[in-house]
Structure 1
Amino acid sequence: MDYHHYDKNDFLEDASLLAYVKGNDPVVTRFWEDWAQQQPPNIGEFRKAVFLLRHLLSAERINARPGTEQELWGRISQTIDTAAATPVRRMGLRRWIAAAAVFLLLAGAGIGYYIYRYTGTQIAVYAAYGTKKQIILADASMVTLNANSSLRYARHWGKNSVREVWLDGEAYFEVKHLKDDALPLKAGERFLVHAGKLDIEVLGTTFNVKDRRGITTVYLKNGVVKVGTNATDALNIQPGEEAEYRQQEGLLTKHPGDAGAAAWLDNKMVLHNTPVKEIVQVLEDSYGYKVVLTDTAVANRKINGVLPLKNTETLLYILSNMLDVDINVNKSDSTLLFRPGK
């Protein structure tokens, strides 16, 4: 079946995708992972559907005080930044879908994020295209989510519970250090980040994790980090180093890192002999564009400098001049067409 023209609603009605989200069929799981790795033009619709299904399948109740529904719609119409709710009663699937629709409308419009409660103990945060979100976890650790990224974690961690979070996309972590003795590491002192198939264990540290297009990278600013998968030996990385895991090859390596890996926190991209195709990936992954290069040789050109990411119009204007190309924006389908300059 050709899924390349599916939108979010089509994916939500597909039995195969539902089986993939449930994770009970390894054949189906491999099919969808391979399909997503090809970065089809509707990958954003696919991710929205998967994100929604995961939360609907595990949801038991949602918070809703009297008047919340009217308040949410009022906030949407007034483009207010955030939305929240308080639990009172169980909701049926139909109302769950309505609540999820509110969440997607908020996220899709770039109006901040909606904190979604499920199974009574966990929450998830989603940063829409072109936005960033800051999260303070139960242990006072701070996470900054990059655009088109989500983080799932427990609302509360017990004293003897491992601190765990699940990341899809990119985030910068500032983890609170809980170990204050020389004794063996206790469960409650451990902090684990699960990104793709990579497990990242830290004590107290700051680091950047990026999980995109079947490649997971971890850049360590300071502290101690150990990374590994079920199929690879763990690697210890030092400040200034980067670990990279390529899912297709099952290969985990480490090498000197790029200090500009977390420059997105300051709304910029630092370029050191960077291929244009990497900039294209940022436009697609963080802003939801589909980039078309009429001259494919442009993709391999390498440039240096700093790109401002805060304003897309400024970003595209600078790119146009740096590459000597005309960039046409089709707002109806978010396509960017790069043509040789006249």
Structure 2
Amino acid sequence: MEPTKELLFTYFAGQATSVQQKVIGEWLNRPTSREMYFQWLDEWERSFPQYAPDLTHHVDLFRQRMENPAEEQPRLVRQLPEDARLFQKPLRWLAAASVALALLAGGWFFQKPLLYKTISTGSHQLRSLSLPDGSTIALNSNSSVTIPRIGYGWLSRRVALTGDAVFDVKHLSTNQPFVVQDMNGLDVEVLGTEFSVRSRAAKAEVVLKRGKVNLRYASENQPPQNLLMKPGDRVLLDDKGSLHLQPKADTARFASWRYRLFSFNNTPLREVARQIQAVFGVHVQLSDPALARRKLTGTIRAGSSDELAEALAELLNLRLSHLDQYLIFSTVSENSITQ
């Protein structure tokens, strides 16, 4: 039996019967059900906040205790009455505690999949994501983004990125910042803007299309660095941990991978080969070291590694061959000699 959202909401409120609890438990044993479970739990938590503390009252109590430490303060914990009828309508927090205990007994309470959801793309895949706060993410090939399952938008708006993505962030009335953390430890903090982040091993790149972005980076070897970006700025984090600002960069090529446009401006073929591997996950081999210094200028639309490689071969008058996961470029003269 498939439990409905209304039944799950009843369960979260602590009002489900033993039969309903059994149905939900059997449903949760299927791994494919957990994603929907956490999605509905997050929705229920947003609709029914579990705790709204009276900060003023408790601060006053704390101040009184500090100013008069010798005086006996009134007890803040009540003795539970013996009347068992109090437990006939369990509180919402008791239901949440029961869920936590069940997960702990299952041995996966502290596992990362419980707290975070990771969306990944393959070698030829692009993906668009809509977040609960109205922000959107366009994810490039061979990339992943990790998002909190519960509390996103009211506890924090922090996501982790590996690879390339374009973020279109919605401004909230609470002015809650949106933070992207890349795999190198670079934090990109915004309030409402559109920008792209490239997060690869030992390097990162941020390009700002509109709005404002504040970059924060700290490492063991250097003091913390802060940098405020303006529209049109491009910032690189090099392998030595330094931020380099390029104002008024060429944003016409802003995240051109979203449209499968590959733009090159006097780009060496060795760098083109790196881009093919990063986007499509295939290796490029240049048979002659001199080919690595050949340069290319122009824009190519390609939906696969083969399309891009064939266009490059035609533009540069090269021979293209395939071997397993390798694309091999060679000169026409080389092929004539070996034939």
* TM-score tier after normalising by the smaller chain length: 0.5 to 0.7
| Structure 2 residue 258 is matched with structure 1 residue 265 | yes
Decide which structure has the larger Cα Rg and report it. Answer: 2
AA aligned opposite 2:180: V
Deviations 1:291-316 (A, max 9, x none): 11111222222211112231333211
Counterpart contact for 1:294–1:338, Cα < 8 Å: yes
Q: Which residue of 1 aligns with 2:236?
A: 244
| Structure 2 residue 131 is matched with structure 1 residue 137 | yes
AA aligned opposite 2:280: Y
Q: Which residue of 2 aligns with 1:210?
A: 198
Q: Displacement, 1:68?
A: 6.2
Q: Which of the residues 331, 338, 341 maps onto 2:332?
A: 341
SS at match of 1:315: helix
- Structure 2 unaligned residues grouped into runs of 5+: 1-24, 39-101, 334-339
Q: Which residue of 1 aligns with 2:317?
A: 324
| Structure 2 residue 174 is matched with structure 1 residue 174 | no
Counterpart contact for 1:65–1:87, Cα < 8 Å: no
Q: Displacement, 1:341?
A: 2.1
Q: 2: distance between equivalents of 1:122 and 1:242?
A: 30
Q: Which of the residues 146, 150, 154 maps onto 1:152?
A: 146
| Structure 2 residue 217 is matched with structure 1 residue 229 | yes
Equivalent pairs counted in the alignment come to: 236
| Structure 2 residue 180 is matched with structure 1 residue 193 | yes
Q: Displacement, 1:64?
A: 8.7
Identity of aligned residues (%): 28
| Structure 2 residue 149 is matched with structure 1 residue 162 | no
Q: Which residue of 1 aligns with 2:15?
A: none
Q: 2: distance between equivalents of 1:298 and 1:156?
A: 51
Counterpart contact for 1:138–1:156, Cα < 8 Å: no
Q: 1: distance between equivalents of 2:26 and 2:317?
A: 53
SS at match of 2:165: strand
Deviations 1:4-40 (A, max 9, x none): xxxxxxxxxxxxxxxxxxxxxxxxxxxxxxxxxxxxx
Q: Displacement, 1:160?
A: 4.8
AA aligned opposite 1:319: L
Distance 1:295 1:241, change over 3 A: same
> How high is the TM-score relative to the length of structure 1?
0.62
**Root-mean-square deviation over aligned CA pairs:** 2.9
SS at match of 1:169: strand
Superposition pairs of residues 20-31 of structure 1, within 5 angstroms: none
- Structure 1 unaligned residues grouped into runs of 5+: 1-62, 73-82, 97-116, 180-185
> How high is the TM-score relative to the length of structure 2?
0.63
Counterpart contact for 1:210–1:217, Cα < 8 Å: yes
Counterpart contact for 2:209–2:254, Cα < 8 Å: no
Counterpart contact for 1:264–1:309, Cα < 8 Å: no
AA aligned opposite 1:299: A
